[in-house]
Every structure is written in C-alpha cells, then in structure tokens.
Amino acid sequence: MVKLYLVRHGIAAEREEYTEDALRPLTSEGKQKTKQVAQQLFKLGLRFDLILTSPLVRARQTADILKAIGLSSQLEESTHLTPEGDIYSWLTWWEEWHQDVNSLALVGHEPNLGEWTEILVWGEAKGNLVVKKAGVIGVQLPKDGSPVGRSLLFWLTPPKFLL
C-alpha cells in the first residue's frame, strides 16, 4: 500500500508583479505558513521516500521547505507536475517507479492536484475538491493494478485546520 501526499504550493506573489508565471515566488507569508504546515506534518510523523515537485518557483520553494524540515531526503523536479502536466503521463512514470516505495509527496498546482485526486479515487474529475494553498491531500494507492478509480482518500486538509 503506497501513500501519496499531494501538497499545493503556498501563497505566491501576484501575477501582475511577474512577467513569467513560472517565476512567481512564495510571499513571506506564504513561506511562513508553508513552514508551519511542514513542521506540523513532521510532528504528525509523516516522512516521504521522495518529494516530486513542479519546477515552477512557487512549487519548488514549497518542496524545498518540506525537505528542509526533514520530511524527505530526496527531491526531484518533474514536468508532469506543471500546470500543463497530466495525470496519465505521470502514471506512466509512477508505474515504472513505484516499486519498493511506501510514501511519495507531489508538490504542484490547482486545479491539477484536486482533479488528479478525483481521478485516482472516483475515476473522473468533477472539480469538487477544495484544495487551499499549502493544503494537503492523502491518497492510498493499491499495491497492484491501475490506481485510477481504485484509490482511497484518507485525508484532505486546508492549512488552517493543521496549524
């Protein structure tokens, strides 16, 4: 049984301030709240074999904070997790990679993370999950076979219920 934790990036600078969306960093409030969330996850005993993150600055900074707090020693960027990424290309990666792994964190964007969760748990995305910035989702993937529509949702929390 593999546990997948989907973490949305923290509060980032406004779009108007940056010509390139990919370069928007976390605000100081975003960094602070993300750090508090990471500390709480650590305190709850969570550890990840790997953190896979969108390479966009606001996501990468979020993933760096998770790693710095001690949630994982492994961090990789993946284009599957950009706003343009799709779950089926990620699943191809997953199927090759998931041997010998117990827990994996994905750091990325909305609406992707909520929709991926819906696809894993119910087989299709309706956009009916509320995933706040620095919010966390927990999904249990089956050990064998496709996880699409066969995974279990065990956690969904906004940061305010975690702090």
Q: Any idea how long the chain is? A: 163
Part of the chain binding a copy of itself (CB under 8 A), chosen from 15-23, 26-34, 79-87, 154-162: 154-162
Q: Select the residue interacting with a copy of itself from 2, 65, 91, 121 (CB under 8 A).
A: 121
Residue 39: phi and psi, rounded to 5, are -65, -40
Residue type, 95: E
Q: Select the residue interacting with a copy of itself from 13, 55, 140, 148 (CB under 8 A).
A: 140
Contact 124, 118 (CB under 8 A): yes
# binding residues, a copy of itself (CB under 8 A): 22
How far is it between the farthest Cα atoms of the chain? 46
Identify which of residues 64 and 118 has a Cβ nearer to a copy of itself in the complex.
118
User: To which residue do tokens 């284009």 refer?
Assistant: 79
User: To which residue do tokens 């760096």 refer?
Assistant: 64
Part of the chain binding a copy of itself (CB under 8 A), chosen from 18-26, 52-60, 91-99, 126-134: 126-134
Q: Which residues of the chain form contacts with a copy of itself (CB under 8 A)?
A: 44, 118, 121-122, 126, 128-130, 140, 149-158, 160-162
